[in-house]
Amino acid sequence: MEIKKRYNDEELEEFRGIINDRLKIAKSDYDETMKVLMNKNTNDIDDTSPTYKALEEGSTNQSKEELVQMAQRQQKFIQALQAALLRIDNKTYGIDRITGELIPKERLRIVPHATLSVASKEANKNH
């Protein structure tokens, strides 16, 4: 039996859908965080989005630094998802960058931007 070297186009399209959904949410969250940061010094809340209200209410307890960190993490996540889309285009998506083996689908469905299998990630931690 031949060992599978890459995911087929149909499987890659499934992952593309998952990544695009995550990307849409991540960009929306990033935009909301930026809005809160921009409005940090004003009191008008003209946005009725639940995310925005929750962030705005929470932001009274959150420092500007925490919001900046949140935005940076979100930006990093967006970049990781965009890089994953490039790997789909190059048909290298889902391949462990250390072992060259396929990362299990279950992991990719949960962490669609993963470049390591759980085993590789664990092994990498110990070095």
Tell me the residue range of the domain where 34 lies. 9-93
For residue 38, tell me if it sits in a domain: yes
- Entry pTM: 0.78
65-97 pLDDT, tens per residue?
A: 899 999 999 999 999 999 999 999 999 999 999
Residue 79 lies in a domain: yes
Residue 102 within a domain: no
Tell me, what's the pLDDT at 102?
Answer: 96
pLDDT, mean over the chain: 86
Q: How many domains does the chain have?
A: 1
- pLDDT over threshold 90, residue 58: no
Residue 108 lies in a domain: no
Residue 110 in any domain: the answer is: no
Q: Do residues 113 and 77 touch, judged by C-beta distance below 8 A?
A: yes
Cα pseudo-dihedral 116, 122, 125, 127, rounded to 10: -100
